Homo-oligomer: A and B are copies of this chain.
């Protein structure tokens, strides 16, 4: 029996996430991101569609590479303003019972001790529906917000992340034993002190000598997400991540990457099937193919090409404002441009790709493939992606909020269900139980070494 497809909805506590300019669409409501009911309505919609999780991106900085200023990002609401992602989760948990929440937290800028408590608190309040997307930060502007002149180097960031993970594993898995909490009114003993342990850690970057402040939450360690695409990032993900987000323009492009990730997991001593690999995509769905195309054409009237270039400049670390709109990217021999091109051009290898075309392409869905079609078209395409590449599912971006996710839930999910490729009810239990059938990380995961 072919596997059921996993679906996460992709959002961010901001206005223009992956499709710059779309906040100006008459039906778009993303400007209401500061309101609790905006998020609660989204959560209800996703749970109605049995969506596995809401994945919340985050950046602790602004897109100021384009033109050397944040002006374009500000004028077009390109991932700025951006609010804290953790605080919108408990209210969404209140109005749902099953939806998972994957939250991006940049470990470079917060000490592990209070962070571990924050995650445990979220896991308690959501009854075990929390995932953590482990990010080491990628904008220089974020580093400047913390008082540094620039980021620490890429590899050093991963060394810090390794050390950080050891600390939080010890707090989550090793401080309070199972059964340490008695909570017995008759014997008047809340906890058995002999089963609560002080964590001692003396690593290259982090030191700690303290017990975890939170009692064990349903999952202890939250479900671990990672999106590292570099060699070092891939190695980190293969060792630690349970869910990995990837991105590529075509099935052909991601297939070898999926294989490499599973091999890296095996090399790290884990079961390759324990990695849930989700690829980014942006669906535009109609009741018919024609309606979807009309919708796409309508959306294109509201995109911001400048916003797209600000986003791409931040992602690539290259100021695209210095190029002419008609410059052909293939002629620019920097590694970042060529690697970006490798992404886009696989889909259309004969295209010349000017800066203008890049902007047009990225203005809907950023770097992700845009899938346009009827629910039948989209369901078939999603199934093809899964079956041809070995991914487990998708991380789906919106174009117009909440329309895109309503279309997903009302049109695409039933079509996938008809084909036997989507669940018809949530599984019981925590996020990890829903994904894997077991509540805790398996014994071959590095976190297990921190247990007593």
Contacts and interface: CB of A to CB of B under 8 A. Distances in A.
A110 B113 contact: no
Interface string A209-222: 11101110100000
A145 interface: yes
Nearest to A113: B145
A111 interface: yes
By DSSP majority rule, is chain A's interface helix, strand, loop, or mixed?
mixed
B36 A125 contact: yes
A190 B15 contact: yes
Interface centre among A80, A81, A91, A196 (most CB of B within 10 A): A81
Interface of A: 13, 15-16, 21, 23-26, 31, 34-36, 40, 60-62, 69-71, 74-77, 80-84, 86-91, 93-94, 109-111, 113-114, 117-118, 120-122, 124-125, 141-142, 144-147, 183, 185, 188-193, 196, 206-211, 213-215, 217, 304
Given A75-B189, A88-B125, A211 B83 contact: no
A76 B191 CA distance: 7
Contacts of A209: 144-145
Query: How many copies of this chain sit in the oligomeric assembly?
Result: 2
Contacts of A206: 147
B120 A109 contact: no
Contacts of A91: 90-91, 93-94, 125
B109 A109 contact: no
A360 to B, nearest CB: 17
B193 A87 contact: no
Contacts of A80: 213
A31 B183 contact: yes
Contacts of A89: 87
14 contacts: A23-B185, A26-B185, A35-B124, A62-B211, A70-B193, A70-B211, A71-B193, A76-B189, A84-B118, A91-B93, A110-B111, A141-B210, A147-B207, A188-B304
Contacts of A81: 191, 213-215
A121 B214 contact: no
B191 A75 contact: yes
A190 B76 CA distance: 6
Lowest 7 CB-CB distances: which A-B pairs, in order?
A147-B207, A77-B190, A71-B193, A145-B210, A113-B145, A34-B124, A84-B121
